[in-house]
Amino acid sequence: MYVAAKGGEKAIRNAHALLAKRRRGNRNLPSISLAQIAQQLTLAVDRVMAEGSLYDVELAALAVKQARGDLIEAIFLIRAFRTTLPRFGYAQALDTAEMLVRRRVSATYKDLPGGQLLGPTFDYTHRLLDTSLGVADQANEVDDQAGESKTADDAAAPVSMPRVTDLLGQEGLIEGAPADDGSEPFDITRAPVSYPVDRSTRLQTLARGDEGYLLALGYSTQRGYGRSHPFVGEIRFGDVEVIFDAPELGFEVSLGTVQVTECQSVNQFKGTATTAPQFTRGYGLVFGQCERKALSMALVERALRWEELGEERGAPAQDEEFVLSHCDNVQATGFVEHLKLPHYVDFQAELDLVRRMRAEHEESRRAADMKEAAE
């Protein structure tokens, strides 16, 4: 007698109870607060906001906690929440020239108006494990004033910090930034994407794309697969005001500030018979401090512009449909992980066919043997 496996419902309930227990870990230790995650795992929270496409530090911290530190799972939680939010309209385009800059470096100029501002960066740190951080809770482990501007001059520095690409633009050395024609941008979260796509669709898709995926593709362009000779014209991170035109009020309203990282790459370009030689640009913009992502995005964005710039195509990073349709980690992880779901109906169909073909193969082999023996 056979009894089929049943009780999926109970198994799922138990699995989820176990998950909650494992997430909490040892109960003798205090539970992490959302504020601790937001304050001390800032870059994890930033990545979740960036790829989750929702600027909300508290919710992102909650997602990191709920996902047990699995950032793609956290991004997924944020996306699933974001999609339920109503749309009130579009903010004005962010003016990153007016950014309250916390970090800004240019690789193309030694010095420039506004100067180089290193800010909080891992760059130039020696990657030596700092065992002093292993000691629990030292209130004075860092000096509260460490690294902050001390003079009035320093404090005034962020006031004017023109973008490097604007400086190059004054001389006509770089192609102009695409003009805002006032039309509503395509919204990849509200309409299905159809290839080929316009630049707003491309940038939106890359902005929420997986950091690791864009990093690898950007890297590939540096190794000869669609080389575009990039310079980091500038990478800047800081606070930008979000302005919303409320038609019923008749005036602009500031909704607050968001932290973003912007990267503008300066790339080579040969002129044509009708246009003088100019540098071209690649663009990356990401919520929070995500420099690796902003830089990778700029490289990939530039690589995808091969057609409008009359370049040859052939590298993976230049293939728009390939790059854009696979860069969303929530989609990718879902489809890859769905292989864990039962497929036994389909597998049964394949089993049946393979057995049949093996039987036929055996039969024809035996027939051939018999014929041989008879000869």
Q: Is residue 346 close enough to count as binding other proteins by CB under 8 A?
A: yes
* Dihedral (Cα; 108, 114, 120, 125), 10-degree rounding: 40
How far apart are the C-alpha atoms of 109 and 47, rounded to whole Å?
29
Binds other proteins by CB under 8 A, chosen from 97, 100, 357, 368:
357
Binds other proteins by CB under 8 A, chosen from 190, 249, 371, 374:
190
Binds other proteins by CB under 8 A, chosen from 32, 81, 119, 199:
81
CA-nearest of 43, 65, 46 to 56 is 46
Q: Is residue 336 close enough to count as binding other proteins by CB under 8 A?
A: yes
Contacts of 254 (CB under 8 A, 6+ apart): 241, 242, 243, 244
Binds other proteins by CB under 8 A, chosen from 100, 353, 359, 367:
353
DSSP 289: S
Q: Is residue 352 close enough to count as binding other proteins by CB under 8 A?
A: yes
Of residues 42 and 325, the one with the C-beta less far from other proteins = 325
How far apart are the C-alpha atoms of 69 and 23, rounded to whole Å?
9
User: How many residues sit in the footprint of other proteins (CB under 8 A)?
Assistant: 54
The tokens describing 115, both together, are 């100067």
Binds other proteins by CB under 8 A, chosen from 246, 255, 348, 366:
348
Task: Give the residue carrying structure tokens 């919303």.
Answer: 244
CA-nearest of 16, 24, 15 to 68 is 24
Q: How many CB atoms lie within 10 A of CB 258?
A: 16
Of residues 62 and 217, the one with the C-beta less far from other proteins = 62
Binds other proteins by CB under 8 A, chosen from 113, 172, 196, 212:
196
Q: Is residue 4 close enough to count as binding other proteins by CB under 8 A?
A: yes
Q: What is the footprint of other proteins within residues 98-117 (CB under 8 A)?
A: none
Footprint on this chain of other proteins (rule: CB under 8 A): 1-4, 6-9, 11-12, 34, 58, 62, 76, 79-84, 86, 189-196, 321, 325, 330-331, 333-338, 341-346, 348-353, 356-357, 360
